[in-house]
Amino acid sequence: MKNEYDFSNGAKNPYISKLPKQQVTIRLDSATVAYFKDMAEKKGIPYQSIINLYLTDCMLKKKELNVSFE
């Protein structure tokens, strides 16, 4: 192992997300979790990633929830 390494020609890791992820705890109904887990199994990626992708899509499209209790 070298005592010093030259990183002057190094490149940034392309797999690092531009936005850091923040761990949160939320309560979801079991039908919603099952829906995303089923989709995750079909797509071959973790269900948390699918939920994040869906929420990111909502954010980028500036979707707003229409809440009505009538």
Q: What is the pLDDT along the chain (70 residues), one digit of tens a residue?
A: 888 888 888 887 776 667 778 899 999 999 999 999 999 999 999 999 999 999 999 999 999 999 988 7
pTM confidence score: 0.67
Question: To the nearest 10°, the Cα dihedral for 20, 25, 27, 31?
Answer: 50
Rounded Cα distance, 16 and 44, in Å:
20
**Residue 10 tokens, joined:** 């190094």
Total count of residues recorded for the chain: 70
Cα three-residue angle 29-59-43, rounded to 5 degrees: 60
